């Protein structure tokens, strides 16, 4: 068995090195009583295994960047990010590191994210076992979410406190 990467065993502040991924379409109903699916986005600290959860309404890069901005505002800017090769994350990491021209992204996103030079690592395509850093914690989150709401369809506003409570339980 190989040794863990240095960033996983070197002393650092929480969420300095993170792994992130989307999980589970979660059925909800909107204010107009229409059904919709949202996704969870998990940010996992590589050293402490703390988690941060965000609700994302779809898999677009813009929604990912919004979730990433909320994460940075609450937990601080990470030094490195490990994620899979989903197109949302590939484009998102390019935008975060300001590698795209202004025509490809909106000026607001460009301005907001241009100062976040972050080292990024993408796992090998079609090898989800390399994402064990966050995949095991996704299983714990899904288990807790199923125990909390079961098969009920709840509103988006009720999903936020469930995510916060699950985050608190797993982080304690």
Domains defined for the chain, CATH in brackets: 13-167 (3.30.420.10)
Task: Express as a percent the part of the chain with pLDDT over 70.
Answer: 77
* pLDDT band at residue 100 using 50, 70 and 90 as cut-offs: very low
Residue 68 in this model has a pLDDT that exceeds 50: yes
The CA-based dihedral angle spanning residues 22, 24, 29, 32, taken in that order and rounded to the nearest 10 degrees: 40
Asked whether the whole model's pTM tops 0.95, one would answer no
Whole-angstrom Cα distance, residue 50 to residue 165? 13
Whole-angstrom Cα distance, residue 135 to residue 145? 15
> β-strands 35-45, 51-56: how paired?
antiparallel
User: Residue 99 — φ and ψ, nearest 5°?
Assistant: -95, -10
Residue 123 in this model has a pLDDT that exceeds 70: yes
Whole-angstrom Cα distance, residue 82 to residue 131? 8
* pLDDT band at residue 110 using 50, 70 and 90 as cut-offs: very low
Residue 22 in this model has a pLDDT that exceeds 70: yes
In DSSP terms, 43 is beta-bridged to 20, 52
Given this model, what pLDDT does residue 90 score? 56
Given this model, what pLDDT does residue 95 score? 58
């Amino acid at each position: 068995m190989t040794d863990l990467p240095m960033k996983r065993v070197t002393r650092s502040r929480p969420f300095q090195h993170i792994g992130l991924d989307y999980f589970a379409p979660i059925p909800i109903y909107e204010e107009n009583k229409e059904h919709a699916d949202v996704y969870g986005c998990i940010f996992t600290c590589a050293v402490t295994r703390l988690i941060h959860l965000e609700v994302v309404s779809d898999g677009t890069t813009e929604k990912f960047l919004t979730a990433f901005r909320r994460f940075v505002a609450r937990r601080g800017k990470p030094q490195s990010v490990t994620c899979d090769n989903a197109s949302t994350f590939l484009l998102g990491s390019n935008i975060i590191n300001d590698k795209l021209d202004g025509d490809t992204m909106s000026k607001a996103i460009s301005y907001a994210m241009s100062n976040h030079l972050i080292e990024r690592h993408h796992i090998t395509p079609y090898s989800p076992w390399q994402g064990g850093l966050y995949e095991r914690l996704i299983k714990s989150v899904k288990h807790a979410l199923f125990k909390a709401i079961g098969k009920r369809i709840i509103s988006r506003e009720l999903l936020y406190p469930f995510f916060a409570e699950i985050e608190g339980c797993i982080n304690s």
